[in-house]
Structure 1
């Protein structure tokens, strides 16, 4: 959309009663999508580093640990996909599921925990896998918690 068209569209949204908040909601939805893509990308990068770590372990003769790393790698693939393809935090105007802004703030706070956990994951991979299993389990727990937040009866339209 051209800037002049966007300005016109924004003017229409501002002029029509009840629609000015729609732009803000759509902006939050876009932000939520970008955050999801960012987190999934970082998890994918960590997963790729685990593949490199498996090669290092092989070269070091630490073959007994390869199965565990393989399982962690598969878990991270699943986690990354579940984050990447999760419902966006704010539904559009005509979607059945609508989330109040306060509920979206709960999701954003939860996503901050995700960012911190992914940072720990990256650090662990850099340190040859120290504490890796526990961090992956923490991220799995966060994924489950997010699903529960989304399935909450407090969300309109449920």
Structure 2
């Protein structure tokens, strides 16, 4: 959205006059949030209708691709609509300098700026054939845009609650690059976990002791081998912010690796995905150069857990697990503490 169109958007909100007047700041905050919640809510509804269409067509793979970003967009809408700041300095008689007021206005403009690219991504999804690389890529870009919006709204709230400007470096990181470009290039913090660093999940602590970096036509991710807990656990982190995180356990399946079906206890898993790519493995015994791999994904007739199989001909790795919300992870690394 161009600067002129953003200003038109703000000026179109009845009663919105910015933050210069102390008496009107709380009203200005409420008015801009109500309008943003309304407009982002319409985009969330549109994405929800797309998910419903896929469900009606029984295209469960397509539903899974957009369920998480749709949920995150709904959460963003609700955060914007219901935010409460109590007796924040911005709304009190405390003197607030103009630089701080300018920053809040800049965050307002940045949030308005996200409407057009997000709408365009949803339109691209509507026009893409489910299951294609284009569809998966568009969904990842859309999910990344939503995460950028969450970050920007959090930055805005930090200014309001403190009544002080953010450091220029932080503002530049949040607002300095166009939302489209920033979202596409962004990788989750957890993707750069290193050996010996730790994570916390479901109240348990784990240490990274190895990883498999997979580069496949369907995407790129890292499966981190973890030490801790009762079983051998693995964490899958996507290379893009919009990808899916998995919590996995190493298992031994019955049947020929790569066959149409594999058995694990009383559960039969049927192969739903099969592709060739490369992996790089780093573990306690050293590292291996990039090597070819066959990757298969299996799904049971009922249940949410899936099997993920790496077949290197001379060796294989079978992991079982399900998609998790990265917000449930706590990361203890040099990159930061948020998984995404």
Same structural fold, with TM-score higher than 0.5 when normalized by the shorter chain: yes
Deviation at 1:98, TM superposition (A): 6.4
Provide the residue aligned with 1:70 in structure 2.
67
Provide the residue aligned with 1:107 in structure 2.
104
1:42-89 alpha-carbon deviations (Å, 9 max, x no partner): 111111001111133345664213123222222122211211122388
Deviation at 1:151, TM superposition (A): 4.4
Provide the residue aligned with 2:91 in structure 1.
91
Aligned residue pairs total 130
Provide the residue aligned with 1:135 in structure 2.
145
Deviation at 1:101, TM superposition (A): 4.4
5+ residue gaps in structure 2? 1-19, 127-137, 166-340
RCO higher in structure (CA 8 A, sep ≥6): 1
The 3 A distance-change label for structure 1 pair 126 and 74 is: same
The 3 A distance-change label for structure 1 pair 66 and 107 is: same
Q: Which has the higher strand share?
A: 2
Quote the Cα distance in structure 2 between the aligned partners of 1:102 and 1:29: 18
Deviation at 1:27, TM superposition (A): 2.9
Q: Which has the higher helix share?
A: 1
Query: Does structure 1 residue 35 correspond to structure 2 residue 32?
Result: yes
1:97-141 alpha-carbon deviations (Å, 9 max, x no partner): 764443222111011111111221122112226321121121122
Contact 1:91 1:98 in 2 (8 A): no
Query: Does structure 1 residue 149 correspond to structure 2 residue 159?
Result: yes
Question: Aligned ranges for residues 3-82 of structure 1 at < 5 Å?
Answer: 24-58=21-55, 62-82=59-79
Contact 1:36 1:83 in 2 (8 A): yes
Quote the Cα distance in structure 1 between the aligned partners of 2:162 and 2:27: 22
Contact 1:50 1:73 in 2 (8 A): yes
The root-mean-square deviation of aligned C-alpha atoms, in Å, is 2.8
The 3 A distance-change label for structure 1 pair 84 and 104 is: farther
The 3 A distance-change label for structure 1 pair 150 and 92 is: closer
Normalising by the residue count of structure 2, what TM-score does the alignment of the two structures yield? Answer: 0.34
